Structure 1
């Protein structure tokens, strides 16, 4: 059901397989999807770029890949095994419209969905309940196991489209879902409390900068690690102490000096993170952009009674809380640049160069194709 006629075709970006930037095809003749039972159709206002989009494109999640993301971000990896190259470990169906982050307006609803939802501005939850079945620690990623927001229109289950009441623009709102829900989930899993000291790696990226804000919101003492050229910006964002990437963390902070580590980087610095954690410290991880293979002295893990949290699946309350933070103005968007959807290759090239702070956002054409 819709209040106005919809076009038959739309602009969008197809991912045609695992590999380099050439696997992204911008098209203007894609069929507009139709909402089925319990689904809504969204006119996309904006969709942000994420590490997940790039990692999925290049097949970085495959166990056959051991290098950091940027080693294959432009041209892909020769070692990819398509059978386990998605984040879930199951083969992707191509072509696929990616785009985990999106904000838009509901313009049509399928059967069993209240027509009163037409006209709602919504954010789409990124880590969603499975398409079949349910249960904790089972989920899909929007734009991975189903088509996402890199298009003018997208279908989503009505239960995964969250109404948001905010004066922020679509581009600003699209910067929140993936990065901020990931960061909030990490802080929740680690149980970060007021007054605790938390170290956040990769603090100038989308998730890292979100974690800085969200940790400050919880009343923590925030120690951020980022490139030396971005330190002043992260300090302004709310970090209490900023350490330039490459400096010795143990040398600067001392052993047993933080209660929580929020890690998005891994790579060569990783052994220092365990040394920084105090007894009964908590380590939460949701990324490994500097390399997924690390060295662990298991004695440090058990002798210090450390807890490790791998953070992918998110309970529904994480996204519900995030929408509340947005509506109450408790967090703010951080956008580096906005691109037309047709410039997705340039946007991903800039994303891989890491010369920005916050989020890069894509905006689809405003004129509807027909």
Structure 2
């Protein structure tokens, strides 16, 4: 396949607001040994993009420090973790039959080679991402989904949101028949949690509000709790036997309010802090009930492989809220920040 020498890309040269996103012309990256070059068909927008751009992750011992996902960013940095596209070239040592295949890229940079490795970096933060016409990726991080019935936009919606959701569900050891609480249910991770938990045979109680309640119910939630009213009281009414597993991307006050609602041996999994990173709770509700509070950052290679199996079989149906051209990346991020949508926002490079 012919590949041009330059490409359009959106990158940041410093931390800041949407104004630091710049559309520019850069050289198309050459795939190194063990890498492939992917022509980007669609790239989804995530909270990680906003927080990386803002430098909002902090660092151990310095929560106010400007930081990318896992530390200082090497600027300039092309944003975008979630890529679906086609392989157009391969580096040395990579099977050439990959060229022309439709793929999804696992955006994680792992701490080791094993199947249960932990993500310690992210495409778009620790390495260049997919807000561009082309991106390179390690060949073992590229998953062939040529046969998937999902659209490119739906495939792009998977890596961070559905990868994070599946990581939470696996770490929670969710079992069929359990009752699950999902916070932030209208967002990309929230919709993913509802769909995967339902596919696993769980009963889903979701937290949402206003005009988003009906779409959240349509996504598969059995009960929807309105976060504008007394949340704990509504959860008790929806799940009088208690919650087995909480899948939480909100944190903040919800953790303290929600822990007493867990059943014996319940698991509370946190993978985000939309409601605030400061948490206060009664520790007796944790240890007296053999409850577990579990942190979950994205997925392992094993989790991502399971996710790609679901994608090939079309067993999940990502909801795409809106699409934008590359030159309107700042508008796409602004739309995400307003949180008035349900599902994923996708950019077309």
Q: Where on the TM-score scale, by shorter chain, does this alignment land: which range?
A: over 0.9
Q: Which position in structure 2 is the counterpart of 1:69?
A: none
From 339, 346, 352, the equivalent of 2:337 is 352
Counterpart check, 1:333 vs 2:310: no
Q: Which position in structure 2 is the counterpart of 1:176?
A: 158
Q: What is the correspondence of 1:277-356 to structure 2 with a 5 Å cutoff?
A: 277-312=262-297, 314-356=299-341
Q: Which position in structure 2 is the counterpart of 1:72?
A: none
Q: CA deviation at 1:315?
A: 2.2
SS in 1 for 2:281: coil
Q: CA deviation at 1:297?
A: 1.4
From 45, 53, 58, the equivalent of 1:49 is 45
Q: Do the aligned residues in 2 keep the contact of 1:256 with 1:279 (CA within 8 Å)? A: no
Q: What is the correspondence of 1:234-313 to structure 2 with a 5 Å cutoff?
A: 234-254=216-236, 257-312=242-297
CA distance in 2, matches of 1:310, 1:136: 15
TM-score, normalised on structure 1? 0.89
Q: CA deviation at 1:182?
A: 0.5
CA distance in 2, matches of 1:276, 1:228: 24
Q: CA deviation at 1:249?
A: 2.6
Q: Do the aligned residues in 1 keep the contact of 2:178 with 2:244 (CA within 8 Å)? A: yes
Give unpaired runs (5+ residues) of structure 1.
67-78, 365-370
Q: What is the correspondence of 1:42-121 to structure 2 with a 5 Å cutoff?
A: 42-62=38-58, 80-82=64-66, 85-88=67-70, 90-121=71-102
| Mean CA deviation greater in 303-312 or 57-66 | 57-66
Q: Do the aligned residues in 2 keep the contact of 1:59 with 1:80 (CA within 8 Å)? A: no
For residues 37-60 of structure 1, give each alpha carbon's deviation from its aligned partner in whole angstroms, at most 9, with x where no partner exists.
000000000000000111111111
TM-score, normalised on structure 2? 0.94
**Considering only aligned residues, what root-mean-square deviation do their CA atoms show, in Å?**
1.9
| Mean CA deviation greater in 264-273 or 327-336 | 264-273
For residues 20-67 of structure 1, give each alpha carbon's deviation from its aligned partner in whole angstroms, at most 9, with x where no partner exists.
11111011x21100000000000000000000111111111115999x
Q: Which position in structure 2 is the counterpart of 1:7?
A: 4
Q: CA deviation at 1:162?
A: 0.5
Structure 1 residue runs of 4 or more that deviate by more than 3 Å after TM superposition? 63-66, 132-136
CA distance in 2, matches of 1:148, 1:359: 17
CA distance in 2, matches of 1:52, 1:111: 32
Q: CA deviation at 1:313?
A: 5.1
From 132, 143, 148, the equivalent of 2:129 is 148
SS in 2 for 1:193: coil
